Structure 1
């Protein structure tokens, strides 16, 4: 319940708020509130407010991404996107002196990232076009060399476009990179050729593996090799990296 004192205090607050609004608005004409200028208070345009608080501006569908001014945006479009792919794109546009511009565009669904640059007066840099920015995710790190043992990955391989498998053999580091969209198996090889005729250092090793359990695990299905120096199979998988 309001008391006489609380009503007086409320009335004082309302008058104070009215004065603050009048001083801030500085009515331009009769109903228009002017946009802010250096040293002059006023409204901020919606787009500038969104940029200032780090929120993306939602663009109309089919917007040409190459026509955008400096800012951060979100758009469902295929106009001048990488490979003209229709998708939801997160777009960052940075502008420098003499109209130098850098665009970074991110496929919202997969996280695939591309960049494109324009040097001076909107002339595209060379080489031109969208450049893919590959991102790597370590999905396995350890030591895998036992046949028929199950090894667990941190993510399914189908989350990635490519895999790189790093392994050790004969004291050396090797890597194998392959497309994994439909791959269920992989084969790793390591060879050591003799330096001179009669050298007994020849060695050849091979490891076959497979992705199992809906591509979240892998196992080694076959080990084979030949070496007079070391008849065992020394291939050891140390890391598997997903690439997008």
Structure 2
């Protein structure tokens, strides 16, 4: 392995536990729905009906509808499953969801210190995150990522929006990150929780290696896919980098 000069990070459920922020947001939305909608409305059922709609199409594929308005329409579709139609309530539910997520969207304890340790050892860092350009930029702002990563942050949705860029797992976004920090692909590692976007993408781009965050250890690496290390938390990264001889021994 060529000497590693940079470490790239995924954002959601790697540097920030987005899943935990989502859980809090869903709790608040469920409670609000039962306040705003007619008696007998199930907040839990509303969430269960909204999730597949969101995962199928989290924003307007043609880019013609603003993302918050699009997601409010998904809440409207979900409440229709229980026989309700209240556009104003749908807007309030989306505001509750996105607002709560941003309130909770912070680097976990120890994450900033871990990244600063990498900097002190001479490693450059950057963030490569997929998602809607507006949503992801708000998340990056909420957790103060620009300060920690010296504005070296790439958002897949922005890359696609300009018409000539790509999201992960396309090699181009990893290569652009290399250009931001001034290293070759084989001089960078990438850390993330997605097997396809992060691990597969980094390997396809010719990076020195991919480090997989497998929170809870419930998943398995597919046969034939290799990771330089498998961690349950990004906070284990310094130890893994020492084992890979990227960082000096303690």
TM-score class, shorter-chain normalisation, is: under 0.3
- TM-score for the superposition, normalised by structure 2: 0.23
Greater helix fraction, Structure 1 or Structure 2: 2
- TM-score for the superposition, normalised by structure 1: 0.24
Greater strand fraction, Structure 1 or Structure 2: 1
Return the structure number with greater relative CO, CA threshold 8 A, min gap 6. 2
